[in-house]
Each structure stands twice: as structure tokens, then as C-alpha cells.
Structure 1
Amino acid sequence: MRLSQEQLDHFQREGWLFLPELFTPEEVAVMKREAEAIYEQHRPEIWREKNGAPRTAFAAHLYNEAFRLLGAHPRMIEPIEQVFGEPVYMHQFKINAKSAFTGEVWQWHQDYGTWKRDDGMPEPRAMNIAVFLDEVFPFNGPLLLVPRSQEAGDLEAGHDLQTTSYPLWTLDNETVTKLVEKGGIVAATGKPGGMLMFHGNLVHGSAGNITPFPRKIVYLTLNAVSNHIRQPTRPEFIAHRDFAPIRPVADDALARYARQGLPLAAE
């Protein structure tokens, strides 16, 4: 799968691109079921909100077959290799949840700020991919993007260890205000199966979810192989050390897995 010139131009200008319903209902259904089964497990890769609701399941591609196939799917790998002009490896894989009524806030931040400070990533040549497993509405904690904010480069940030259960290098209100005055804010909404890709320096965040509508999103960070991390400080299940290029599976691999009716999740 390759992006059109128009799509490439949009990404380079705005810092993000949304591909609606890239994955089929059949593919989404098996991922959604297995994500819910994973959240029931008790393992160090699964982090929870302060109230116990699931927040993030890291490295699910290493212990679940459906997400292994997703992590090597050509509909994600090929467009990113097209943008970077070289092979990519998996820097991070996580399934984020905003549970109904309980999903907490993610403060404004740039992901490259964390990759650089905590993992020793040389340049922002890693791409975020987000695959929607539930419908993301304007009101159930969608990802909020500041278009064109990637042009500001790597911004000064503070280490927030208090606001949520997940530590972030966050931006101050004045910085965000100035960026929003230039680029505005876009809510990344869409139906299950949609895929969002956005630049590592794009400023983004999300509000809490106070609605009855949960939203689960699979996030993958695909890094150019030449840009592999140099000084990781976080656990390997958060910042991976396997820098081998991803070899894409067949385009129908996830659909075939869904039809087999295999066990939902590895124990």
C-alpha cells in the first residue's frame, strides 16, 4: 500500500493523516475481542488508571498473535517506509483505553520529547500510528492534534509524574496557546478500523472520557532503522531493543487469523 502524492503533501504540511476504515469490520472485531481479553490479564506490561481501569497494554504484539500480525501489517508498514525512505522497526506497541466514565486525561505533549530524553532516539524519524478499535467521537476523549505544530521542532518540556498514571514530558500552557493560535486544534475522530498517522513532534493530548462510550486505540511507533535508540532508560517492553527491520505479513493475514477462531489471547 502506497500513499498518494496528495496524502503525502497533507502529511508533510499538517503533520498528520487519517485513513478512514483501513481495516475491515472482521479484522477490527478480532482485535477488539483480544484487546479486552488482554486487559483482563495481570502482567507488568498492562498499566491501569488510578481507579484500576485499564489504561495501556504495552508490547501486545509479543504475546498475542492478532497484534503480532497487526504490527507487521503492510497497510501500516509500507506507507511509513515510503515516508522515511528506509525500513522501519517497532520502537513501541501499546493498546490505549479510555474506559467509559473513567478514562483519564493525557496532557499536551510531543512524543519525540520522550523518545529523545528517555530512550536516546537521535532524530524525530519515528512515526506514530493509531488504529481505532472503537468509534472515536468528539466527546469520548479523542486525540486532539495541533496541526503544523511539528514545524516548531523539539520543544522544552517538563516531566509530569503526578497528573496521570503514565509519566509524560509535557508542554506548558503558554507554549500550547501560541501553537494553537497558529494551527488550531483538530479532534481525530472516526469509525473502527480507521488509521491515523502523525509526526513525532506533532503536539497532541486528550481529555478524559466522562461518557458511556469507551474508546480503545492501538498505537504503534515505527522508527527508521538508522534512527534506532542509543541510550534506553525504560523497560524493554516499553522501548524495544530489537532493531531488525519489520518484514510485512500478507495483506490478508489478520483476516485469515480472525476466521480461524483461535484462542483470544495468550496467557
Structure 2
Amino acid sequence: MRSNPTGRQLRLGAELRKLRERAGLTSTQASRLLGVQQNQISNVEAARAGVSPDRVRTLACHYDCGDKALVNALSNMASERSRGWWEEYRELLPAALLDLAEVEHHAERLGAAVTLHIPGLLQTTDYAREVFRQDVPEMAPPDIEHRISFRVKRQAVLYREPPTPYRATIHEAALRMRLGGAHVTLPQLAHLLDMSERDHVTLRVLTFDAGTLPGSGQSFYYSTGPVPQLDTVHLDQSHGPVFLDSGAQLDKYRVLLGRMEASALPPDKSRDLIHKVAQEL
């Protein structure tokens, strides 16, 4: 039995539960179809126990799920046995941060819509250090350094081969906020410009003059899975990351992400504005 299931293992169990409930079956009825004890279904759905890819396909068949793409994606999730680099931080950082790295690692595409800070995957180490210094309660210097090294390793998804496609909409306020002073902000803006030139990175700026702020300015991150049902929204809250994955929530944030992008400057004009902000510092 697992004592500390990962976020991805929990998601697999939750998706299997959704399939069962959509089929109108109780866990007891599902266990009878498989010829197993009822608690085995409960343990799988709670990620306390693993499940094989073949068993996932059998469950999907019993649940009358005809979505082959979804079944294949769930089977692939079940086949994963090794844990990623983030496990070395298991005793150092909150579990939710490890789950975030796992989601990003497996994402087909990544998106961000932020208003007050540069997105974490685009932050320099000095900028990230200033962000972490603002936390309440104040973090000890070693804890800050752990957070920074973890953030840098998360950024590897943008540099691996092939890199993960990344789209970010950043409000002009985040560009003009001189976090840490000009000696921190200028290199950060230069890094944004450098990243924006990469083929897999699309950067847009939502200006003060846009006259709109979809979602009331809430910052969020969107990870696209192999099928739409396995997308994930990440909200960066003061008490830690919050993950959303219900169909209604995913639909809402897809719309918000689209509206933010539509209201922002195109990539070329966004780069021009970042240049201008840097020159004004």
C-alpha cells in the first residue's frame, strides 16, 4: 500500500472514479465485475494501491468508456513506475510543489496568465530570490535556496529536447514592478526577451491601455495533457499551489486564457514594450 501517492497517481485514481461514476456503478458493483474485493477498487481510486495498464483497460471496458484516446492516456499513466528528479526534494519542500513539477514534466503544452510577477518558468535566479523573500512568514536563507534550485530544475522543460511549447501572457504591471531594484529587474527583462525569441515560447503583454482584465486579474497556469480531460489548472495561492481538474473548471480557465491572449499585444509588439520598459529603468 502506498503511504505518499504522488499527484499524478492521485489523478489517475480520480479519473478512474469519474469513469465508474459516469457508468452509474458503485465500487461494490465494479468489484463484482472484476471479481475482486470492494476495497481494492477503493484503494485504486484513492491511489493507495497501484493499477496495471491492462487493469485500466479492463475497467474502462466495464465502464463502457469508448474514448480510446483517454483510455490510452490513463493506461500510460498506470505504466509509470519510476519517480522523477523532484523526489530528491521530498523532505525539503511541500508535496504540492513536487506535484507541480510532475505535472509540468508530463505536460504536452504549458500556459500562464500572470499579473504581478514574472511566471516562475521564466524567472532568473535573482528575481526568484526576491519573490521568495516576500513570503510570510519569512523563509530561512537555506529554504529560499532550496526553492530557487527547485525552480531552476523545473525550467528544464523549456530547454530539453524537444522543449515543451510555452505560452505566457504577462500584465504590464509585472514588467514595471521593480522587484529587487533595477539590478534585478533589468536582467530579468533581458531574459524575457531572450526566451521570447525561442520558437517554442510565445510571450504576450497585456497593457494598462488594454481596458480589460479577464478573470479580475487572477494569475493562473495551464498544463495541457495528452487529452483535454487530463489538463490541469494551477493556482498560486499564499498557502501553496492549488490544482483544479474538473471539466467545468478546465472549461472556465481555457476561456480565460484565450481572453487574456486576445486582449494582449501580439508577440512582436510585446517585445517592443519590454524593450521600452527596460530602457525606462
If the length of structure 1 is used for normalisation, what is the TM-score?
Answer: 0.25
Structure with max Cα Rg: 2
Higher relative contact order (CA 8 A, sep 6+): 1
If the length of structure 2 is used for normalisation, what is the TM-score?
Answer: 0.24
The structure where helix makes up a greater share of residues is: 2
The structure where strand makes up a greater share of residues is: 1
